Amino acid sequence: MITAVVLITAERGSVPRLGEALAAVPGVSEVYSVTGEFDLIAMVRAREHEELADIVTRRIAGVTGVLRTQTHVAFKAYSRHDLESLFAP
C-alpha cells in the first residue's frame, strides 16, 4: 500500500465544499482543512504508483476549486495502529 499526503491550494471560499468533494474521491481516505500555506490536506492510499498518479493528477486535480497540489509519498509509517489492516481487501 502506498500512502501519500497531498497538500492542496483551493480557490477562495471553496474550502467547505471542496473538502467534502475531495473526501468522496475514491482513494482519498481523509481530508483536513488546515492553517498555513495550504488550505487542505488529503491522505491518499493506493495499491500501486499508477493508481496514485491517477488519483492525484486526474481525480483530485480535476475537482473544481483545486488550484494546485503538492504530493509527498510516504516511505514508512510509524504508528501504533495497524493501518494496513484497515485497507486490506
Q: Looking at the domain assignment, is residue 67 inside a domain?
A: yes
pTM, full prediction: 0.85
Q: Looking at the domain assignment, is residue 64 inside a domain?
A: yes
pLDDT attached to residue 88 = 62
Write down how long the chain is.
Answer: 89
Kindly provide the b/e burial profile for residues 40-79, where b requires at least 16 CB atoms within 10 angstroms of the residue's own CB. Answer: bbbebbbeeeeebeebbeebbeebebbeebebeeeeeeee
Q: What is the tally of structural domains in the chain?
A: 1
- Which three-class secondary structure state does DSSP give residue 56? helix
Q: Looking at the domain assignment, is residue 86 inside a domain?
A: no
pLDDT attached to residue 78 = 81
* Cα separation, 69 vs 41, whole angstroms: 9
Mean pLDDT across 48-70: 97
Contact between 73 and 2 under an 8 Å Cβ cutoff? The reply is yes
Q: Looking at the domain assignment, is residue 88 inside a domain?
A: no
Q: Looking at the domain assignment, is residue 42 inside a domain?
A: yes
Q: Looking at the domain assignment, is residue 53 inside a domain?
A: yes
Mean pLDDT across 19-33: 97
